[in-house]
Homo-oligomer: A and B are copies of this chain.
Amino acid sequence: MYGLIGRMVAVAGRREELLDILLSQISDMPGCRSYVIARDPAHEDGIWISEVWDSAESHKASLALPAVQATITKARPLIAGFDNRHETEPLGGVGL
């Protein structure tokens, strides 16, 4: 499995709008086992995203899906940046 943990930082004051876009995107993404979108209670513009995929390839392929492309286009103006990005190798657990 292939995992990503990272924090997206919204343009100041636009986090809720950005969350609405991200949460409305949730669709069938082949190879996606887990995709958690969370508010960061310690940073008023922070959004934590944790992902588990069958493979790095299935993650990469998802970025070309029309629904994901549409979300990226809508979300981009509201994203100030990313930090705390970590690739992981998920091994097991609950909810995979």
Residue A91 contacts which of B19, B33, B90, B93 (CB distance < 8 angstroms)? B19
Q: Is the interface of A mostly helix, strand, loop or mixed?
A: strand
User: Can you name the residue of chain B whose Cβ is closest to the Cβ of A38?
Assistant: B88
User: B87 and A36: CB pair below 8 A?
Assistant: no
> What count of chain A residues pass the 8 Å CB interface test?
33
Query: Oligomeric state, in number of copies?
Result: 2
User: A88 and B41: CB pair below 8 A?
Assistant: yes
A12 within 8 Å of B (CB atoms): no
A10 within 8 Å of B (CB atoms): no
Using a CB–CB distance below 8 Å, which chain A residues touch chain B? Answer: 1, 3, 5, 19, 23, 26, 29, 32-42, 48, 50, 52, 84, 86-96
